[in-house]
Chains A and B, each alone.
Chain A
Amino acid sequence: MKYRDLVIVGGGPAGMAAALAARAAGVEDILLLERDQHLGGILNQCIHPGFGLHHFKAELTGPEYADRFARLVMETPGIEVSLRSFVIKFTKDRDISYLRPGAMEEIRARAVILATGCRERTREMIQIPGERPAGVYPAGLAQKMVNMEGWIPGKEAVIVGSGDIGLIMARRMALEGVKVKGVIEIQKTSRGLVRNVVQCLEDFSIPLYFQHRILKIHGAARVEKVEVVRVDDKFTDIPGSVFEIACDTVLVSVGLIPENELLEMAGAEIDRATNTPVAPAVNLTSIPGVFACGNACKVYDLADWVTRDSELAGKMAAQYLKTR
């Protein structure tokens, strides 16, 4: 069994900030595992500006923000980065198994920081009934298709959910010439930033339907239309208020879920409603020497706050290693 002082799982802004802070606090042997081919996590697909206003006092795009950290991480002696390395097993004794092309590795860590980010809630989780045609995508997947691959998923879109990702994707699709026919929000207000409602919807004349929900998705092979209904304050459908919107694409942006399957595998306590670690303070878990930071710890709206709190996680891990 190979031993490492600190293993960090996830090379997004959280994992990178934690690695740098732990190094600065004196940890000399750090292994950063990232399943993707590059560092940066979800920021690589967020090509819009609006990152770093707090941390760098400058307005950067997601990839620019990530690059500033990635360069430092790669240059810092004492931090080893292993890309295309997918952690598949984790135990309470901090044994880690990960796969990379050509090998499965098994190591034991003295401390671990999980910075595995989050996944999107899906159409299935909010149980939108109807048929299951092509053309229904989680908004983050559509963002990856458009920004990373240059693929335009459809011609006429309806967006479900007015959180920041939904709003940003409404604008992104409109900029690519897709007709965005509306954003459907079941609540009375948007969960997203005010600046996003203004810059992403109002500036593009995209209608925002508050207190509405999708009743049904239609289409045998590809989406053809959605049925929308108005709801009252108790989320009950208002009779007679159903209308249809013709579209070939539905982007679902209904929230994020922290990815804590590894932590759960190790037997840590997880809050089933939020999928976050149960612990007395931020970055902690119920297993000593195992920390969770960034979107794995709780869902953040700004990468800047992820960086701030994850630096703290790096220091906490360093502290833990010193007192052991």
Chain B
Amino acid sequence: MIYDVVIVGAGITGAAIARELSRYKLAVLLLEKEAEPAFGVSKSNSGIIHAGTQNPPASVKAWLCVEGNRLMREEIAADLGLNFVQCGQLIAVFDLGDLPELEKIKKEGEALGIKGLEIVDRAWLDEREPNLGPEVQAALYVPSAGIISPYRFVYALVENAVKNGVELKTSQKVSAIRRGADGVFELETGGEKHNSRFLVNAAGLFADEISAMAGAPTFKITPRKGEEYLLDKKREHIANHIIFPLPTKTSKGILIIKTSDGNPMIGPTALDVEDKTDLSTTESGLAEVLSGARRMMPSISKSDIIAYFAGLRPVSGKDFIIRHEDSVPGLINAAGIQSPGLTSAPAIAVMVAGLLARHGLPLEPKAEFHRLRPRPAHLFQVPLEETCRLVAKNPAYGDIVCRCELVSSQEIYEAIKRGATTLDGIKFRTRAQAGRCHGGFCTTRIIKIMQEELGFPVTAVTKRGPGSELIKDERK
């Protein structure tokens, strides 16, 4: 079979493109090298839906970010049942001499159409952010910014795309791309071959390699590492907004981030590295993050940290690369999607669909597009009365598997039904193992449920795909 479009990469960019294309009468294939979607850059980031401030004024990403933010607020969050929280953002200054800088950010933001920007003084802040340290003098308040769970955003888009007819294939690493005589792209993944008229490259850190394989070695991706540190849920109410310091020449600044799951997060660092697989955290990263965060909120302590991770921003120059490669007709690159890629994804998807149309792919709307995705029920997100109702309806909601994050066996079954095949996939969908005990309590139970539901032997259960098996042997 020949697909109309093959998308390489099921991160937020590829997922959003897949869902956008699923509106039209097209045969679309989404290919991902990892065992599940969202295992690339899109799993390790700050989860902020930026308003669109602080991007270079004439850049592509500046308006994509503003438009992505609007789409989230006005359509996607409700349509896909996402837990988007519009908590707003503060850009804090430690010196009143920096107010002109804030004014400049405000003006540039307003020129892009960002609404409600307001410079606020210490009295305003004291009322709304009681834990700010004494050094903070004033801030720019950005009301349209918010937070989301990045992986659940990807899973929702992929699920909805699949519901609308997109084919998803995981554990399929594209290793070679040829061009048939008729102009058809032939993609090789391990033993399999996939043919397509158009190729959309959304391969994140490896987008330069995919573009080169397709015949357009036109850019290079370098990873920029960011380390993030999560705090205990007990500190949930330490901050009510996402709080940024004003960037300085030497530092982009460490943020205090409310997350949609409750745990506050501090980070990220920004350091250019060589290795596209280097996800290690470092002692210097921890020290930088702690001191940066404590300058804004001195009560944050090292003992609040319950988890940490690093992510790599796929960087190529200062802007996104979203274009048709004229040297390889039919190839669209959606590459170099550094921050704010999570925010921009829905707008990038619309732009990519436009590029495909302009280069000869007819976009004819389907008679029936399933716009809505029912929201999965998570006990940690609902009030006690709702829990009562759920348990009465389905006893498995009363069977608690993860004690720290309050996840029931029903939620684990549901995650598996929606496509989770690994321990991390279950963690990202449900939060089981993501709390303060790190799966000390629930890991064995989850492995047993996976064995039952997926029919795996225990030695085949993995953390995040082949090579990451958890159990080496069974006692005879």
Chain A residues with CB below 8 A from B283, complex form: 127, 129
Which residues of chain A from 238 to 269 have a CB within 8 Å of any chain B CB? 248, 261, 264
Known contacts A127-B305, A140-B440; is A151 also within 8 Å of B400 by CB? no
The CA-CA distance from A131 to B436 in the complex, in Å, is 19
Alpha-carbon distance between A155 and B398 when the two chains are bound, in angstroms: 37
CB of A109 to closest CB in B, whole Å: 18
Interface residue? A50 (CB, 8 A):
no
Which residues of chain A in 115-138 are interfacial with respect to chain B, using CB atoms and an 8 Å cutoff? Answer: 119-120, 122-125, 127, 129-135, 137-138
Q: Which of A120, A129, A248 contacts B280 (CB 8 A)?
A: A129
Contact partner of B400 (CB less than 8 A), chosen from A86, A103, A216, is A86
Task: Give the residues in chain B near A102, CB-CB below 8 Å.
Answer: 391-392, 395, 398
Which residues on A sit within 8 Å (CB–CB) of B462? 134
Report how far A132 CA is from B227 CA in the complex, Å.
13
- Mark B419-455 against chain A: 1 for CB-CB distance below 8 A, else 0: 0000000000000000011111101100110000000
**Would you list 28 pairs from A and B whose C-beta atoms are within 8 A, ordered by A residue?**
A86-B403, A88-B400, A89-B384, A99-B397, A102-B395, A103-B391, A104-B384, A104-B387, A119-B437, A120-B437, A122-B440, A124-B307, A125-B306, A130-B280, A131-B280, A134-B464, A138-B440, A141-B440, A141-B444, A149-B444, A151-B447, A151-B458, A152-B473, A153-B471, A155-B472, A221-B463, A221-B464, A222-B467
- Interface bin, chain A: 35 or more
Determine whether A176 belongs to the interface, using a CB cutoff of 8 Å to chain B. Answer: yes
- B residues in contact (CB < 8 Å) with A: 234, 277, 279-283, 286, 302-303, 305-309, 384, 387-388, 391-392, 395-400, 403, 406, 408, 436-441, 443-444, 447-448, 458, 462-475
Is A248 touching B468 in the complex (CB atoms < 8 A)?
A: no
Contact with A124, one of B279, B305, B387, B443 (Cβ below 8 angstroms): B305
Chain B residues within an 8 Å CB radius of A89: 384
Which of B437, B448, B465 is the one whose CB lies under 8 Å from A221?
Answer: B465
A145 touching B471, Cβ below 8 Å: yes
The reply to whether B281 and A134 form a contact with Cβ atoms under 8 Å apart is: no
CB distance from B290 to the nearest CB of A (A): 10
Task: Say whether A212 faces chain B, with CB atoms less than 8 Å apart.
Answer: no
User: If A99-B391, A102-B398, A103-B398 touch, does A134 touch B463 (CB 8 Å cutoff)?
Assistant: yes
Q: Which A267-323 residues have C-beta < 8 A from chain B?
A: 272-273
Q: Is the C-beta of A146 less than 8 angstroms from some C-beta in chain B?
A: yes
Closest residue of B by beta carbon distance from A123:
B438
Q: Which of B396, B406, B441, B458 contacts A88 (CB 8 A)?
A: B406
- Contacting residue for A99 out of B309, B400, B467, CB 8 A: B400
CB distance from A261 to the nearest CB of B (A): 8
The proximity string for A residues 10-47 relative to B, scoring 1 for CB distances below 8 Å and 0 otherwise, is 00000000000000000000000001000000000000
The docked-state distance in angstroms from the alpha carbon of A217 to that of B470 is 16
Rounded to whole Å, the gap between the CB of A120 and the closest CB of chain B is: 5
- Report if A144 contacts B (CB, 8 A): yes
Which listed residue (A86, A101, A264) contacts B396, Cβ 8 A? A101
